[in-house]
Amino acid sequence: MTEARTEVRVQQADFDAGRELDELRLQSRRMGAIASFIGVMRDLNEGDSVSAMTLEHYPGMTEKAITTIVGEARERWPLGAVTVIHRVGPLQPQDQIVFVGVAAAHRGESFAACEFIMDYLKTRAPFWKKERTADGERWVEARAGDESAAQRWQEQ
Amino acid sequence: MTEARTEVRVQQADFDAGRELDELRLQSRRMGAIASFIGVMRDLNEGDSVSAMTLEHYPGMTEKAITTIVGEARERWPLGAVTVIHRVGPLQPQDQIVFVGVAAAHRGESFAACEFIMDYLKTRAPFWKKERTADGERWVEARAGDESAAQRWQEQ
Amino acid sequence: MIRVLFFARLREQLGTAALELEHDGVSTVAAAREALVARGGEQWQLLCADNIITALNQEVVAGDAPLQDGDELAFYPPVTGG
Amino acid sequence: MIRVLFFARLREQLGTAALELEHDGVSTVAAAREALVARGGEQWQLLCADNIITALNQEVVAGDAPLQDGDELAFYPPVTGG
Q: For chain D, give the longest Cα–Cα distance.
A: 39
CB under 8 Å to C30, separation ≥6 — which residues?
A: C63, C64
Which residues of chain D neighbour A126 with C-beta distances below 8 Å? Answer: 7, 55, 74, 76, 79, 81
Yes or no: say if A51 and A126 are a contact pair by the CB < 8 Å rule: no
Question: Which residue is closest to B51 within chain A, CA to CA?
Answer: A29
pLDDT score, position B111: 98
pLDDT score, position D25: 87
Q: D1 pLDDT exceeds 70?
A: yes
- Which position has the higher pLDDT, A156 or C82? C82
pLDDT score, position B105: 96
CA angle B101-A119-D58, nearest 5°? 130
**Per-chain mean pLDDT for chain D:** 97
Distance CA A117, CA A149 (A): 11
Binned at pLDDT 50, 70 and 90, residue A2 comes out as low
The ipTM estimated for the assembled molecules is: 0.95
When CB atoms are compared, the residue of D55, D59, D81 closest to A127 is D81
> In sequence order, what E strands does chain D have?
2-6, 18-21, 53-56, 59-61, 72-76
When CB atoms are compared, the residue of B34, B41, B43 closest to A38 is B34
Question: Which residue is closest to B124 within chain C, CA to CA?
Answer: C79
CB under 8 Å to B45, separation ≥6 — which residues?
A: B131, B140
Half-sphere exposure of A127 (CA within 13 A, CB side): 29
Distance CA A116, CA C20 (A): 53
pLDDT score, position A3: 74
Contact A128 D7 (CB under 8 A): yes
Quick: pLDDT tens for A19-40: 999 999 999 889 999 999 999 9
Quick: pLDDT tens for B8-49: 999 999 999 999 999 999 998 899 999 999 999 999 998 999
Yes or no: say if D2 and D67 are a contact pair by the CB < 8 Å rule: yes
Yes or no: say if A47 and A134 are a contact pair by the CB < 8 Å rule: no
Which residues of chain C neighbour B55 with C-beta distances below 8 Å? Answer: 81
pLDDT score, position A156: 64
Identify the bridge partners of residue A86 per DSSP, sorted by sequence position.
Answer: A10, A98
Which residues of chain D neighbour A66 with C-beta distances below 8 Å? Answer: none
Yes or no: say if B5 and B82 are a contact pair by the CB < 8 Å rule: yes
Percent of residues, chain A, with pLDDT higher than 90: 94
**Per-chain mean pLDDT for chain A:** 96
Contact D55 A139 (CB under 8 A): no
Quick: pLDDT tens for A101-149: 999 999 999 999 999 999 999 999 999 999 999 999 999 999 999 999 9
Distance CA B140, CA B46 (A): 9
Show which subunits contact B, needing at least 3 CB pairs below 8 angstroms. A, C
Yes or no: say if B131 and B45 are a contact pair by the CB < 8 Å rule: yes
Q: Which residues of B touch A (CB under 8 A)?
A: 16-19, 21-22, 25-26, 29-44, 93-94, 96, 105, 107-108, 110-111, 114-115, 118, 149
Quick: pLDDT tens for D20-34: 999 988 999 999 999
CA angle A72-A6-A123, nearest 5°? 45
Distance CA A29, CA B124 (A): 27
Quick: pLDDT tens for C27-82: 999 999 999 999 999 999 999 999 999 999 999 999 999 999 999 999 999 999 99
Q: A1 pLDDT exceeds 70?
A: no
Distance CA A60, CA B151 (A): 44
Contact B40 A19 (CB under 8 A): no
Yes or no: say if C68 and C2 are a contact pair by the CB < 8 Å rule: no
Contact C81 B118 (CB under 8 A): no
* Rounded mean pLDDT, A5-11: 98
Identify the bridge partners of residue B53 per DSSP, sorted by sequence position.
Answer: B91, B131
Question: Is 0.80 surpassed by the pTM of this model?
Answer: yes
Contact D7 A126 (CB under 8 A): yes
Contact B60 C58 (CB under 8 A): yes
Which regions of chain B are under pLDDT 50?
1
- The 3-state DSSP composition of chain C as helix, strand, coil percent (nearest 5) reads 30, 30, 40
